[in-house]
A and B are shown apart, each in its own frame.
Chain A
Amino acid sequence: MTQRQLLQVLEEYLKGRMHFVQTMSELASRGQNMKMLKNANVMALLQPLMLDVDPSVQQIATQALGRLVGHSEEMAKELVQGEVLPQIVNSLPKHNNYYKKAATLVLRSVAKHSATLAKAVVDCGTLDSLMICLDEFDPGVKESAIWVLCHVARHNEDLAQAVVDAGAVPFLVLSMQEPEIALRRVAVSALSDISKHSMELAHIVAETGTIAILAQMILNPDTKLKRQVFSVLSQIGKHSVDLAELVVEAEVFPTVFICLQDPDEVVRKNVAILVCEIAKHTSELSQLIVNAGALPALVDFIGENEGSVRLPAVMALGYIAAHAETLATAVIMSLGIPQLTQVLSNEAEENYVRAATAWSLGQIGGHSSEHAVAVAGENVLPKLLQIYTSPDSSDDFQNKAKNALKNILQKCVHLPALEPLLRDSPQNILKHVVIQYSKILLSWVLGGLAGKDGEIQSHVLTSRTSFNDKCDIFNKEVIFSVPPSLLPKSPMSFQTSLRALCLQNSLQLPVANPQGALIKADAQNKRRRGEGKGGNRGFI
C-alpha cells in the first residue's frame, strides 16, 4: 500500500470518527434520543474516543459524553464505574480551552445527579484541576469550571466544605466582579450553594467582603443574576444573628423592596425569602426592617401575588409580629390583617400557605386584648374554627389553626367576636371561650353592669344544651364573691349572670324560673357561708 493510500484510509477513518462524534453530540443534546442512545450502547463507543489522538475528535467526544450523561443518572454511574473520570481530570490542565470546556461539561453532568456521584467526582481530584481552570483568562472556561463547583457544592455540607478547602471562594468573589454576565451569574449561584449548608461556610463566604459586592448587584438589570444574588443573601442571613446583621449593615434594606415588584416571579420570591430569614432572628432586626419600610412592601406583595410566592411574605409578617407587641401593632396598623384573611379564605391556595397564614394571625393576635380584638374583627375566628373542625384539612394545618385560635382566644374579651364560637366548637375550644366569658361576666357581676343582657342571655341559653357536665374549670371564686347585697339590686343582670354561673356549675335549671333560681342560689350561698361560720366558732 502506498503512502497516499494509507493517508487516504487514515483520513477516511478520521472523517468517520469525526462524523460519528458530531452526530452523537447533536443527538445527545435532545432528551428524547436518550433511550435509543442507551440501547445502542453509545457510551462504550464514546469512551475510548475521549482519549483519541486527534484533539477535535477528543473534544467533541467529551462534549457528546457530557451531554449524554447530563440526561440520565445510570449513564453517569456507568461513567464513574468505567474509571474514565481520573483520566479526564488529569488531562484537564494540559489541553486547550475547548477541551477544558467539554471536560468540565462532563464533570458537571456527572456531579449534578446525586451526592454520591459528586463525591466520586471530587475523589478523582477534580477540585485541584478546577482551580487551575479558574486561573484561565477565557471567561467561558471559568464559567464551566465554576458551574462544576456549583453542582458539587449543592448536595451536602461535606462537599461544600471540600470546595471551600480547595480555595475556591476568593476566585468566586473575583469572578463575581467580572464584566461577563454569565460568569457572574454562575459565580453567585456557586456562592449561594456553598453558603446554604451551615453557619461556618456562610461565615467564610461573608468574611471575604462578599456582601458589599452583592449589595451593589441588587439593582442590576439582569434577571437571573438578581435571582441568584437574593438567594445568596438569604442563605447567608439565615444561619445566625451576626450574619443577618452583616447583611443588614450592607444597607440592602430599602432597595430590596423595589425588587419585590420585579416582573420575574422567582426574583420576587427570593426577596421575600430574604426578608423572612432576616426577620426571623431577633426583635431588633425585625424592628430595623420595619423601620426601613418593610410592612407596606410586604402587605402589597401579599395582595398582588398568588400561590406559594406569598408564603415567605406571610411568614415574615408572622415573625415580625411575634417578636414584640409594638411590632404586632405596627403590622395591624399597616392593614396586614385584611390581606392575611384574604389569603386564608381564598380556597384556591395551597394548604401550607394557609397554614402559615393561620400561624401568623395567631402570632399577631396573641399579645394583648387589643390585638385579639383587631384580629377577631375581620371575622377570622370562625374561619379558623372551621379549618380546625373540617375533616379534610391536614394535621399540620389543623394544629396551626388550633394554636392560633387558642392564642387569640386567651386574650380576647370582645363579646361579638366570641359569640359565633359558642355555637359549634369542640370541647377544648369551647373551654377557652367560656373562660373568656367568665372573665367578662366577673367584671359585670362585680361592677353591676346592666349592659348587653339580652344577647348574653340568649347565647348562654343556647350553649347550655350543648354543654353538659364537664365544666369544673370555671372560677369558683366568682360564686363565692357574689355578695348578698347585690341580690335585690339589679335583677336583670343578676339573672343573666346567674344563669351563666349555674351553667358553669351544671345545675339544670328551668328556663322560666328566675325567682326560684334566685332563691336557690341564695340558699346555697347562705349555706356555704353558714358552714364557714360554724366552723369558726371554736376559736372564740
Chain B
Amino acid sequence: MGHNMADVVRLRSRPCVSGQKYIERRRQEEQDRRKDILAAITIQTWLRGLRVRAYMRYLHDAATTIQRHWRGFFQRKSFHVLLRNALHTRNMEFYNCKAFNIQKIWRGYYVRKYVHNYYARKIYLETLMVANQITRIQLKEIVGSKACEWDRRFRESDEQRMDRLACRTHYLVSTRQIPGIYNSPFLKEPMDMERRLIEARPRINAERFLISARNSTRDWTEMSYQKPCSIPHIRAKKPQGPFLEQSQIWRHRLKPLEPTLRVATSFTSAEEAALEQKREEWRTRVIDDAFLPFANHRKNKKYEPLLQTSCAFGSIDYGTHHFRDTDTTKNISKKPFKTITRTIPLFEKFGKMYC
C-alpha cells in the first residue's frame, strides 16, 4: 500500500485539497480499481496473445519453410526412383497387355486345333459315316460271295448226310413187286430218297478204314487192314492182238468187289445174329427172376420166356412154333429137322409184310 505516514502529512499540508473531495476521489478510485485491473488484464492478455500468435506464426512459417525446402529436396531425390518405377510399371502393363493378347490368341488357337477341334471332329464323324457305308457295302459283297460258298458247303454236307442215310437204310428201296415207302403209287414220280437208295452202294472195307482213320474215336482193331496197293503189273511180254487197253483191263480186274446183299451176308448170319441177341439179352438182363404179373391178374397165365433162351436147339424158324404142325408123333426122329440151307427170314416175309 503506497499510503504511508509521510504522504499523509504531505497531503494534509496541502491547502487546496479538500478532505471530502479527496475521500470521494479515493472512493471512486477504489471502485474503479477493479475495473481498471480487469481492463489492464484484458489489454495485457490480448497483447500477450498477439505477441504469442505472432511468434507462433513466425515459428510455423519457419517450420513450414524448412519442411518445404526439405520435402522438395527429398522428393526431388526420390523422384527419379519414382519416375523409373512408374515408367517400369507402365512398360510392364503395356507388355502384359500384349502378352495377354498373344496368350489369348494362342490359347484359342491351341484349344481349337489340338484339344477340341470342332471342325476336325465334324469332318471325322462325316468321314466315319461314309467309311461305315463303304464298310457295309464291302462286307455285304464279301459275305455275299462267302454265302454262296457256305451255302454250297452246307448243301454238300446235307447231301452227304442223306447219302449216308440212304446207305444205312438201303433195304427201304422199292423192288418190282413191292414199291418202297419213298415210291408211293399215289405220287407222280418217286421221291428223291428213292433215287439215293437206288444209287447207294455198300461201303467197302477200304473206305471204312479211311473213314475210321478220320474219326479218331473209332476202335483201331481194323487198322491192321492193308489198303490194296495199285502198283501196275510188270510187263513180261507184249500181249497179242487188238485187245482192250491195258489200263481198262487192269481197272476191270482190280475193280473192288461190290457184293450184293445176299452174297455179302454171311452164310451163318442168322445164327450169329441169334447168338448175338442171346448174348445181348444175357448181358442186359438185370433181374434174373421171372417177371410175374400182378397178384390178382389172371393167375393161371404163366409168362412165356424168350424162344431163344428156352429152346434147346437154338432159334426155331420163324413160324415154326405157331404156324407149323406141332404133332410130333409122326416125326421120324424126336429132334426137328435141321435144314441144310437156312431160309432167309427176310424172304419169308415176302408178300406178307409191307416193306
- A261 touches B (CB below 8 Å): yes
Smallest beta-carbon distance B137→chain A, Å: 10
* Residue pair A60, B219 in contact (C-beta under 8 Å): yes
20 A–B contacts, CB within 8 A, in A order: A36-B284, A59-B220, A60-B219, A101-B220, A140-B213, A140-B216, A257-B139, A258-B139, A258-B142, A258-B143, A263-B150, A291-B131, A293-B131, A293-B139, A295-B128, A295-B132, A296-B133, A326-B121, A330-B128, A334-B132
* Residue pair B125, A329 in contact (C-beta under 8 Å): yes
Q: Which residues on the B side are within 8 Å of A519 (C-beta)?
A: none
- A300 touches B (CB below 8 Å): yes
* Residue pair A326, B153 in contact (C-beta under 8 Å): no
Q: Which of B193-240 contact A (CB under 8 A)?
A: 213, 216-217, 219-221, 223
Q: Which residues on the B side are within 8 Å of A263 (C-beta)?
A: 150, 154
* Residue pair A257, B129 in contact (C-beta under 8 Å): no
* Residue pair B142, A290 in contact (C-beta under 8 Å): no
Taking a contact as CB atoms closer than 8 A, the residue among B142, B216, B284 that contacts A182 in the complex is B216
Known: A56-B221, A101-B216. A257 touches B128 (CB 8 A): no
Smallest beta-carbon distance B232→chain A, Å: 29
* Residue pair B149, A221 in contact (C-beta under 8 Å): yes
* Residue pair B216, A296 in contact (C-beta under 8 Å): no
Q: Which of B110-151 contact A (CB under 8 A)?
A: 121, 124-125, 128-129, 131-136, 139, 142-143, 146, 149-150
* Residue pair A293, B132 in contact (C-beta under 8 Å): yes
Given A182-B216, A326-B121, A330-B128, 7 other A-B residues pairs in contact with their CB atoms under 8 A: A98-B220, A101-B216, A140-B213, A261-B139, A261-B143, A296-B133, A326-B124
* Residue pair A36, B216 in contact (C-beta under 8 Å): no
State the total of A-B contacts with C-beta under 8 angstroms: 69
* Residue pair A296, B135 in contact (C-beta under 8 Å): yes
Q: Which residues on the A side are within 8 Å of B223 (C-beta)?
A: 98
Q: Which residues on the B side are within 8 Å of A291 (C-beta)?
A: 128, 131
Q: Which residues on the A side are within 8 Å of B136 (C-beta)?
A: 296, 300
- B286 touches A (CB below 8 Å): yes
- A254 touches B (CB below 8 Å): yes
- State in angstroms the CA–CA spacing of A333 and B129 once bound together: 7
Q: Which residues on the A side are within 8 Å of B221 (C-beta)?
A: 22, 56, 60
- State in angstroms the CA–CA spacing of A263 and B221 once bound together: 38
Q: 8 closest Cβ contacts across the A-B interface?
A: A293-B135, A296-B132, A296-B136, A261-B143, A98-B220, A263-B150, A258-B142, A140-B216
Q: How large is the interface on A (under 10, 10 to 19, 20 to 34, 35 or more residues)?
A: 35 or more
Chain A at the B interface: SS class: helix
Q: Which residues on the A side are within 8 Å of B153 (C-beta)?
A: 221
Q: Which of B263-304 contact A (CB under 8 A)?
A: 283-284, 286
Q: Which residue of A lies closest to B133 (CB)?
A: A296
- State in angstroms the CA–CA spacing of A334 and B146 once bound together: 25
The interface bits of chain A over 76-109 (1 if a CB of B lies within 8 angstroms of the residue's CB, else 0) are 0000000000000000000000100100000000
Smallest beta-carbon distance A17→chain B, Å: 13
- A63 touches B (CB below 8 Å): yes
Known: A98-B223, A293-B131, A330-B125. A258 touches B146 (CB 8 A): yes
- State in angstroms the CA–CA spacing of A182 and B217 once bound together: 12
Q: Which of B303-347 contact A (CB under 8 A)?
A: none
- State in angstroms the CA–CA spacing of A63 and B153 once bound together: 34
* Residue pair B219, A22 in contact (C-beta under 8 Å): yes
- State in angstroms the CA–CA spacing of A23 and B282 once bound together: 13
- State in angstroms the CA–CA spacing of A334 and B129 once bound together: 7
Q: Which residues on the B side are within 8 Å of A297 (C-beta)?
A: 135, 139
Smallest beta-carbon distance B135→chain A, Å: 3
Q: Which of A6-55 contact B (CB under 8 A)?
A: 22-23, 25-26, 29, 36, 39
- State in angstroms the CA–CA spacing of A59 and B222 once bound together: 13
Q: Which residue of A lies closest to B217 (CB)?
A: A29
- State in angstroms the CA–CA spacing of A258 and B139 once bound together: 6
Q: Which residues on the A side are within 8 Å of B125 (C-beta)?
A: 326, 329-330, 333
- A144 touches B (CB below 8 Å): yes
Q: Which residue of B lies closest to A102 (CB)?
A: B220
Q: Which residues on the B side are within 8 Å of A101 (C-beta)?
A: 216, 220
- State in angstroms the CA–CA spacing of A262 and B149 once bound together: 11
Q: Which of A237-270 contact B (CB under 8 A)?
A: 254, 257-258, 261-263
- A193 touches B (CB below 8 Å): no
Smallest beta-carbon distance A431→chain B, Å: 32
Q: Which residue of B lies closest to A67 (CB)?
A: B217
Q: Which residues on the A side are within 8 Å of B134 (C-beta)?
A: 293
- State in angstroms the CA–CA spacing of A330 and B123 once bound together: 12
Q: Which residue of B lies closest to A261 (CB)?
A: B143
Q: Which residues on the B side are within 8 Å of A293 (C-beta)?
A: 131-132, 134-135, 139
Q: Which residues on the B side are within 8 Å of A59 (C-beta)?
A: 220
- A277 touches B (CB below 8 Å): no
Smallest beta-carbon distance B20→chain A, Å: 77
- State in angstroms the CA–CA spacing of A26 and B276 once bound together: 14
* Residue pair A257, B220 in contact (C-beta under 8 Å): no
Smallest beta-carbon distance A303→chain B, Å: 12
Q: Which residues on the A side are within 8 Å of B121 (C-beta)?
A: 326, 329
- State in angstroms the CA–CA spacing of A330 and B286 once bound together: 69
Smallest beta-carbon distance A338→chain B, Å: 15
- State in angstroms the CA–CA spacing of A59 and B224 once bound together: 13
